[in-house]
Amino acid sequence: MFNKSFALALATVLSLLSACGSNNKNGLSNLDGHFESSSAAALNKATGGQRATAEWEPSRGVILSAPLITSFNKTQMAAAIADSGIDKLWILVPSNFRGTVETSPSFAGLRQALGSNLSKVELIRQQLTGSLTVWSRDWAPQGALTASGDLRLLDFNYFPGRDADDYTGQSMEHVLNFPRVSVPIYNEGGNFMTTTDGNCLMTSRVTDGNGTKERADDIVMDAEGVKSYYEGAAGCKTVNILPRMPYEGTGHIDMWAKFLDNKTVIVNELRDEDLSLYTNAQALARAKVIKKYFDARAADIKALGYTVIRIPVPGAIFQNGQEVYRSYTNSLAVNGNIIVPRYVAPNTPDVAADNGLYFDQSLLPKYEEEVRSVYEKAGYKFTWVVSDDLIYVGGAVHCTTMQVPR
């Protein structure tokens, strides 16, 4: 199942690169690399030994960040996750947090929402000082399994300057004793998806993120270098890097696509009926570019051999210096459940039409009906989570959650 020969191949590549120094533009450019409390030798030992799991595989737990509850009040979202057949709901709290989930005033709403499922919650105190963001998908480790079914956590590098977030893999290793594999690539979890047979998709955000050094020990690599690491560390048999979405800041694939199973991918479709509602010429021009992008990516993914199902997407909002990219693909699949973002009303007047609603509000009911039908026909138990506040700051349900495989 795994690429058992890759460890030897990678070791050979590294030995050849030791004479190449930092001028190598077509692969690994630094022998040591930015490993987080780990080393290239440790990665070589783990290489070929595990595969990243698909979202729909059984999950023992889900990782959240405390600010998702304390700042965004997503207690109903947490309740839906806790009711999805998981054993643990791990919540990362800052290093200076004092208290328990049973007693802290910060979690009063969570206690009420979860009821008896509160027993599933385990707080993980971050082992490094600093504030946490809500984007668990991006900084939490990617779950992986060995051939014998043992858990490993793949710990990719995160943004410089977000050290507390980036330390989550090490915190889980220290607190929960989960084995961790440090992978010296900058890529967020929202820009990675895989099947059970190791077919992996991501966007060129990953090559953008690894094309220059953020710190002295970073590895500079191109697409082939990225693919090599994903093949070895994550068990990817194929790695396809697609162009990133125009305008949208994260560059993540989860903003416009999602595997439903090994053969099926949903892809956003921006429809003419939505385009017809734009009143600003510049915003309309951008929306047309996005529409062409979605159509092209759907064709690309279909050409890879997948069944592509197009689902409606509300139009991107370009207004008052703000940009909002709503998406129904930014959902969480966990143990046969699907938790999907819902867009009810603008979080701020900055992105609202004159009537206080979304400019395409009239289309949303039928879009929701279609989206729900697609997910349910794929076999998922469906739950909405209102996500206007999250999408306003750049993400939704998928962006704020990370599964840990069973």
Is the pLDDT reported for residue 165 higher than 90? yes
pLDDT tier at 32 (50, 70, 90 boundaries)?
low
Q: How far apart (Å, rounded) are the C-alpha atoms in residues 168 and 140?
A: 6
Stretch 290-313: mean pLDDT = 99
For the record, the structure tokens of 265 come out as: 């991918």
Is the pLDDT reported for residue 30 higher than 80? no
In angstroms, the Cα distances linking 97 to 67, 94, 117, 170 are: 12, 5, 22, 18
Is the pLDDT reported for residue 119 higher than 70? yes
Question: What are the pLDDT digits (tens) for 348-375?
Answer: 999 999 999 999 999 999 999 999 999 9
Q: Which residue is it, tokens 């995160």?
A: 158
- On whether the 6-405 domain is CATH 3.40.50.10470, my answer is no
**Could you give the 3-state DSSP secondary structure of residue 338?**
strand
- The H or E element that residue 76 is part of is helix 75-82
% of the chain with per-residue pLDDT over 70: 92
In angstroms, the Cα distances linking 27 to 85, 100, 182 are: 42, 47, 18
Is the pLDDT reported for residue 110 higher than 50? yes
pLDDT tier at 386 (50, 70, 90 boundaries)?
very high
- The H or E element that residue 173 is part of is helix 168-176
Question: What are the pLDDT digits (tens) for 197-251?
Answer: 999 999 999 999 999 998 899 999 999 999 999 999 999 999 999 999 999 999 9
Ordered alpha helix ranges (H), 250-405:
272-275, 281-303, 364-377, 388-392
- The H or E element that residue 142 is part of is strand 142-145
Stretch 161-169: mean pLDDT = 91
Query: In terms of Cα–Cα distance, which of 314, 288, 291, 323 is closest to 394?
Result: 323
pLDDT of the residue at 20: 33
pLDDT tier at 25 (50, 70, 90 boundaries)?
very low
- Encode 198-212 in three state secondary structure: CEEEEECHHHHHCCC
321, with CB counted inside 10 A (0-12, 13-18, 19+), is: exposed
Q: How far apart (Å, rounded) are the C-alpha atoms in residues 79 and 74?
A: 9
The β-bridge relationship of strands 307-312 and 264-269 is: parallel
Stretch 1-6: mean pLDDT = 40
For 203, residues 6+ apart whose C-beta sits below 8 A from its C-beta are 191, 241, 242, 243, 244, 245, 251, 252, 253
Question: Across the chain, how many H-helices and E-strands are there?
Answer: 14, 19
For the record, the structure tokens of 298 come out as: 């759907």
Q: How far apart (Å, rounded) are the C-alpha atoms in residues 321 and 110?
A: 34
Question: What are the pLDDT digits (tens) for 86-99?
Answer: 999 999 999 999 99
* Contact of 193 with 230, CB cutoff 8 Å: no
Q: How far apart (Å, rounded) are the C-alpha atoms in residues 329 and 267?
A: 7
Q: How far apart (Å, rounded) are the C-alpha atoms in residues 44 and 307?
A: 35
pLDDT of the residue at 161: 83
Instruction: Supply the mean pLDDT for the chain.
Output: 92
